[in-house]
Structure 1
Amino acid sequence: MVRQTGDEPLSERAQYLLRALVHRHIRDGQPVGSRALTREAGLDLSAASVRNVMADLEEAGYIQAPHTSAGRIPTDRGYRFFVDSLLNVRSEQGLDPDALRIRLDAGRDAGELVDSASNLLSGLTHLAGVVTLPKRDYGSIRHIEFLPLSEQRILSIVVLNDHEVQNRVIETDRNYSQSELQQVSNYLSAEFAGKSVSDVRRGLLDAMQADQQHMNVLMTSAIQVANELFREGDADSDDFVMAGETNLMTFAELSSVEKLKELFEAFGRKRDILHLLDRCLSADGVQIFIGQESGYKAFDGVSLVTSTYQTDDQVLGVLGVIGPTRMEYDRVIPIVDVTARLLGHALKSEH
């Protein structure tokens, strides 16, 4: 019998049995033997024939034997093939968009909406939900205020969309008095009220390129302070909210002390997850990272299903679900997709 190599297409029989094995492993979380797979597949095949196909799948890298078990489990490659070629995603009919929209509550500000969305994802999937905060370019500026702190540090208070408030501490190259900051605040509020952060940034660049000799002291101070406030690439603008991390402890493959420590340390650092989510910002539709595809050892055995959320074709951020590689992809994918659309709609309403 000719063995299947990693680059050869899988036969129809091999695909059918791989689908059955993946479904069984997702449901039970246990290695699947040839006898159990024969019953699961419902095909008129002998156990010997099934063992031969399983041997081909193992040689091609789609399944593997954990430790000394007689059964087999899907590899990351097996799950990737399953998701890309064999998965039948459930329709959204089982989801009630109106009920989910109420749970998001469009009357809240952006921060509360993001928090609600992460809890909604976690509650619906019983996994961990993660949502990045909307990009700082989002929203129209209504008011800007500054308060002096100490050691050339200033507290900035920016009101967006009438009621959303963002606070940030910025550092300047000199000390500013309360009177100077009030003048700067009045100037910037009058100059940029009603404009988006990206418009403000462009306006600042234009002002900085203007003839310095024709700029008065107030304008110079305002531009220096505002440029620090609205500069791109701020570390604190790239953040996310996570809910339901402890749900992952219920899965045997993630429940060891060593694995939990590794995973929760990655959650705490945030950098690795943010890097993964950033890779999804320019992608269309639902994106899925399976196990080692993430490039981070902490996420071995873990999958991330994501989608961007947006308003008026402007991508604001990414949301998704983190769970074991044997998660129910057919159920999780539509939940992520619907939640992303609802969050974008809620933020548009709030805006």
Structure 2
Amino acid sequence: MSDTRRLEVLRAIVEDYVHTQEPVGSRVLTERHQLGVSPATVRNDMAALEEAGYIAQPHTSAGRIPTDKGYRLFVDRLSEARPLTQPQKRAIEKFLSEAVDLDDVIGRAGRLIAQLTGQVAVVQYPSLRRSGLRHLELVPTGENRLLVVVITDNGRVEQRFLDVPDDVDEATLGELRARLNAAAAGRRLTQMDVAFNEVSAAVAPEHRPLVTAIGEVVTSALDEEQEERLVVAGQANLARAGMGFDQGLSPLLEALEEQVVLLGLLTEMTSDENVAVSIGHENKLAGLSRASVVSTGYGSDGDTVALLSSIGPTRMDYPGTIAAVRAVARYLSRVLPT
């Protein structure tokens, strides 16, 4: 599609249909947009767009609506970035920065996306498989018991108790704590066994069983949290009039409940740095065949640790949704615990 004017006609059809929720006719296009041609010429352009599969006629009226193919061309070549206003940016930053812990951060991010887009938000918790160890603490609690505290670089905290021998004193614990933290620095949680093996080989033989036991406790605690977690917010938005799911909301709700499958789709479509858009039948999950997904990654220090997405009708405000997802991901990265 190289004809510039026909691309402008497609842009006008998409923008009007998103705004009015009604099929768009040639006369309306010439009245609302400065196309510089007659309604008859616009009708010819619309006929060419329809023949190419970019627009379709939903019923016998003269109006046309975009197809998935038309939305794809709009997103790839015609949509323009719509930066958020300064008040919107300040409100996002303030809202996220007031979070008290990781759960609060993730929950707030989901509510923000849902409110900004009027659609469904899906926010992934930072993945342990892509996380690192920030600090390992060993706290004696008396009665030959030790509290093992694992703090990840994205704010997760796991605590487990461990029985220890009578002859383990504060000095020994201090040495083990220092060695374990030094060995774990910069390593992913999935590499912790290497760190513990290094420490075990460096300490006195009588302390190696304790290092092994601490390693088993840490591994066990993290294994319990390995399942990826998603927060889904704004499902009620899907039932609003005009969302386009009146006759088929159940498949979409079921798709949102299949979190493992949904996460697989989001992971496959999303790059680390850019906002990705998957439209209608491009989605491999059947329940999303009438929806579009806008997704990006977030994380601290430029390292993507999780995904943030907005899901809505194919007739969504793509520039607005992309801007909202990008902005919230950026601010979420800034306030993510480090």
> TM-score scaled by structure 2?
0.80
Equivalences for 1:17-96 in 2 at 5 Å?
17-96=9-88
Report deviation, 1:268. Answer: 0.9
Distance 1:283 1:178, change over 3 A: closer
Q: 1:100-151: per-residue Cα shift (whole Å, max 9, x none)?
A: 2111135522221011111111112211122111122155134379xxxxxx
1:85 aligned partner, one-letter code? R
Query: Which position in structure 2 is the counterpart of 1:129?
Result: 121
Query: Which position in structure 1 is the counterpart of 2:232?
Result: 242
Where 2:331 maps in the other structure, the secondary structure is: helix
The answer to whether the 8 Å contact 1:26/1:327 transfers is: yes
Query: Which position in structure 2 is the counterpart of 1:299?
Result: 288
Distance 1:248 1:116, change over 3 A: same
Query: Which position in structure 2 is the counterpart of 1:252?
Result: 242
Q: Greater CA deviation, 238-247 or 220-229?
A: 220-229
- Structure 1, unaligned runs of 5 or more: 1-8, 146-155, 169-176
Distance 1:206 1:342, change over 3 A: closer
Equivalences, count: 321
Percent of aligned pairs with the same amino acid:
31
Runs of 4+ in 1 over 6 A off after TM superposition: none
Report deviation, 1:93. Answer: 3.2
Query: Which position in structure 2 is the counterpart of 1:140?
Result: 134
Report deviation, 1:340. Answer: 1.0
Report deviation, 1:252. Answer: 3.5
Within 2, Cα distance between the matches of 1:201 and 1:230? 9
Query: Which position in structure 1 is the counterpart of 2:144?
Result: none
Q: How large is the Cα RMSD of the aligned pairs? A: 3.6
The answer to whether the 8 Å contact 1:263/1:299 transfers is: yes
Alignment of 1:286 with 2:270, yes or no, is no
Alignment of 1:333 with 2:327, yes or no, is no
The answer to whether the 8 Å contact 2:102/2:155 transfers is: no
2:334 aligned partner, one-letter code? H
Distance 1:143 1:26, change over 3 A: same
Distance 1:256 1:285, change over 3 A: same
Where 1:306 maps in the other structure, the secondary structure is: strand
Distance 1:323 1:196, change over 3 A: farther
Report deviation, 1:256. Answer: 2.4
Report deviation, 1:251. Answer: 4.5
Report deviation, 1:88. Answer: 1.9
The answer to whether the 8 Å contact 1:89/1:330 transfers is: yes
Within 2, Cα distance between the matches of 1:33 and 1:247? 29
Distance 1:251 1:276, change over 3 A: farther
Within 2, Cα distance between the matches of 1:163 and 1:283? 20
The answer to whether the 8 Å contact 1:251/1:324 transfers is: no
Report deviation, 1:13. Answer: 1.7
Where 2:299 maps in the other structure, the secondary structure is: strand
> TM-score scaled by structure 1?
0.78
Query: Which position in structure 1 is the counterpart of 2:5?
Result: 13
Q: Greater CA deviation, 283-292 or 22-31?
A: 283-292
Distance 1:106 1:190, change over 3 A: farther
Equivalences for 1:78-117 in 2 at 5 Å?
78-117=70-109
Within 2, Cα distance between the matches of 1:191 and 1:109? 28
Within 1, Cα distance between the matches of 2:64 and 2:324? 29
Within 1, Cα distance between the matches of 2:85 and 2:257? 36
Where 1:54 maps in the other structure, the secondary structure is: helix
Query: Which position in structure 2 is the counterpart of 1:153?
Result: none
Distance 1:321 1:138, change over 3 A: farther
Distance 1:63 1:220, change over 3 A: same
